[in-house]
Amino acid sequence: MSTTITRSFHHQFDLKYGCNPHQNPAAIYSLEDQELPFEVLNGKPGYINLLDAMNSWQLVQELDKTANLPAAASFKHVSPAGAAVAVPLNDTFKQVYECGQHELSDLATAYIRARGADPMSSFGDFIALSRTVDMATAQIIKPAVSDGIIAPDYSPEALEILKGKKKGNYVVLKANAAYTPPDMEYREVFGVGFAQKSNDLVLGEDNLFQQLVTEIKEIPSDAKRDLILAAVTLKYTQSNSVGYALDGQMIGIGAGQQSRIDCTKLAGKKAENWFLRQHPKVLELPFKSGVKRVERTNARVCYIEGDMTSKEMEAWVQNFDTTPTSLTTDEKSAWLEHMKGVCLASDAFFPFRDNIDQASKRGVAYIVQPGGSVRDEDVIQATNEYGMVMAFSKIRLFHH
């Protein structure tokens, strides 16, 4: 039995171009008799800007409702580089994120965590915030290299600050928090139409932790918060995806990999770099006066990874008053031994125990994944060997 579906779209405004400059014309349309779920307050958004905005807004809105905390996301190319909720920053994190001189609201704290998890990936991000943007948050965003922002509202002072970014061209979108998307969603690829039910399943304690399959079955409240954060983040991350979370923020996201073990390794490497940024030798790097924040960030990552060519090293040392001593492999290993209590989520089942072995190297103690692999017992055995807690949610979170 065939069914013909008629959908009516209404032109709203033209875009400069589509994904690439040669994909022109390009435009934004609203569906049938509905208004757009956002209003443009400043700038001219691009095609990819709006894809980032629509995905990131859904993420922070859902995370705020589930965690009952202000939420933030930093998006690049339709996947989050970082996501977080408002958990206070200690003095070490204020130094790592270079925000100790600022007065921080809860919303500002959430964005600092989201942006600070993987700052190189967040360079030129699209920001999503779940609550009204205040002056403190706008002041944090003001110097950041960013393409745009979406939030439910802005204080007048915050809006003026944001409008001034990028010589007045910074994209500022006001989300309609009351907007309800249609039950069905449609897309077209290569002349072929696709339809599916919208992924409106809300993730939380009621459905993520129903089946605890390991010998240890206790999950502290902070770990539950971080597991929910990780699961919600992956719901809006291009698959395959795996994410590490700790202290109210994502610390490593592996997105869009064809192999799940590559996701686990990629996200794990990002998590290691995040943790190593707290090492005293990294915090005490002797930067010259006047070195810009972006260069300081890049220099710290190069210092941690330590795989520079001779030419890269020549440029790198120009950032410092004196040449820093190396961060040795032994020093890294000793520091990473303190990485504990990390949470891990996967958007689909782990097919082999190698993912658990990799997770163990990054201090993972709590895992949530759908389960359903023919090797589930091998994966459960591995988590028991490491003393981890694992929940099967039976909810796959593929996103494309």
DSSP 279: S
Question: CA-to-CA distance for 259 and 263, rounded, in angstroms?
Answer: 7
Please give the full DSSP string across 111-135, using - where no structure is assigned: HHHHHHSSHHHHTTEEEEESS-B-H
Question: CA-to-CA distance for 206 and 365, rounded, in angstroms?
Answer: 21
Residue type, 161: I
Catalytic residue among 77, 94, 102, 269: 77
β pairing state of 125-129 and 146-151: parallel
76 catalytic per annotation: yes
In degrees and rounded to multiples of 5, residue 44 shows phi and psi of -120, 105
77 catalytic per annotation: yes
20 catalytic per annotation: no
DSSP 342: E
Asked whether the beta carbons of 261 and 373 are under 8 A apart, the reply is: no
240 catalytic per annotation: yes
Q: Supply 327's token pair.
A: 């961060």
Instruction: Identify the burial level of 376 via C-beta atoms within 10 angstroms of its C-beta, where 0-12 means exposed, 13-18 middle and 19 or more buried.
Output: middle
Question: CA-to-CA distance for 28 and 363, rounded, in angstroms?
Answer: 44
In degrees and rounded to multiples of 5, residue 126 shows phi and psi of -110, 130
Catalytic residue among 11, 167, 311, 400: 400
Catalytic residue among 49, 55, 240, 273: 240
Catalytic residue among 42, 76, 270, 279: 76
Please give the full DSSP string across 285-333, using - where no structure is assigned: --BPTT--HHHHHHHHHHHHH----HHHHHHHGGGBSSPPPP--HHHHH
Question: CA-to-CA distance for 213 and 222, rounded, in angstroms?
Answer: 20
Place of tokens 């600092």: 112
Q: Supply 233's token pair.
A: 């983040």
Three-state DSSP class for residue 365: strand
Instruction: Identify the burial level of 28 via C-beta atoms within 10 angstroms of its C-beta, where 0-12 means exposed, 13-18 middle and 19 or more buried.
Output: middle
In degrees and rounded to multiples of 5, residue 279 shows phi and psi of -65, 140
Alpha carbon 206 to its chain's center: 23
DSSP 201: P
Question: CA-to-CA distance for 269 and 308, rounded, in angstroms?
Answer: 17
Active site members: 76-77, 240, 400
